[in-house]
Amino acid sequence: MSALLTANPTLFVMIPWLSPHNNRFPSPHEALDEPDGLLAAGGDLSIERLISAYRHGIFPWFSDEDPILWWSPNPRCVLKPRDIHISRSMRKAIRKQHYYITFDQAFSEVIELCSSSRDRVGNTWITDEMKHAYTALHQQGIAHSLEVWRDGTLVGGLYGLAIGKLFFGESMFSLEVNTSKVAYIALAKQLEHWRYALIDCQVQNDHLNSLGASEISRAEFLEYIKLNIDEDPGHEWQFELSNEQLIQTDD
């Protein structure tokens, strides 16, 4: 079954409508070129369907007025943890501010703050339906949050999914200058320590580029999934690095 959608006011597209009775997706290679990566619509946000989606390089992204839309863009924005770029100013800020980093101590607060950050007010894709779905994934130990604290106050963070040796980033927020960057740096450095292969950043933007993210083809991204999605992570979700370890570089 196909769905006729208006992905923008001048474009009509035909995409598959997902069955409510199984969690199968079309091949990511069938995604549209315009809008980039749009693959399917419908289905639900059950734990089983979401895990199936991420295992195949697919993620949901839609607004309240839309049906559930599923995407697999080409190219894909990613970061190899060892490639994280830490500017001189960020090193100075991390050293000076004495941030305290945790995992999974405030997941509900993190996802709520991601949905209400200033650049998304009135235009958020983190709907109530999405919040409930990713909270359920968190309760199953699949979705994780990273929190940045200063003087006992939550000032930045991010959340995403960890499957195998891959982390699928979803969103981040800052309540103080650059604290989303601190969160991303902390995540990358810890995942490098745990020998993760890749952080999925989904779609490129200047913020991610400044931290070392780059684009690879969908085919290459799917190969990373094939090689790493069933690897045993071999660790608990506890942040292990000091601030000084966060800013260490090989140069």
- The tens digit of pLDDT for each residue in 200-240 reads 999 999 999 999 999 999 999 999 999 999 999 999 999 99
| For range 90-118, the mean pLDDT | 93
82: left (phi over 0), alpha (psi -120 to 50) or beta: alpha
Strand-pairing partners, residue 144, are 160
Query: What percentage of the chain carries pLDDT values higher than 90?
Result: 83
Bridge partners (DSSP) of residue 76 are 216
Mean pLDDT across the stretch 53-75?
A: 95
Q: What is the pLDDT of residue 124?
A: 64
Specify the pLDDT at position 113.
Answer: 96
pLDDT number for residue 243? 87
The model's pTM: 0.93
* pLDDT at position 122 over 50: no
Residue range 56-71: mean pLDDT, rounded: 94
Banded model confidence at residue 9, pLDDT cuts 50, 70, 90: very low
Contacts of 29 (CB under 8 A, 6+ apart): 218, 219
160 or 247, which is more confident?
160
Beta-carbon contacts of 178 under 8 Å, excluding residues fewer than 6 positions away, are: 90, 93
The chain-wide mean pLDDT, for the chain, equals 92
pLDDT at position 5 is: 58
* Confidence band, pLDDT 50/70/90 cuts, at residue 65: confident
- 17-31 in b/e form (b: 16+ CB < 10 A) is bbeeeebebbebeeb
CB hemisphere CA count around 10 (13 angstroms): 1
Average pLDDT in the 146-162 region?
97
Instruction: Please state which of the ranges 45-49, 213-217, 243-247 shows the lowest mean pLDDT.
Output: 243-247
CA atoms within 13 A on the CB side of 50: 26
> Comparing 11-15, 34-38, 175-179, which segment has the lowest mean pLDDT?
11-15
Residue 107 pLDDT more than 70? yes
pLDDT digits (tens, 9 = 90+) for 136-147: 999 999 999 999
Q: What is the mean pLDDT of residues 21-48?
A: 96
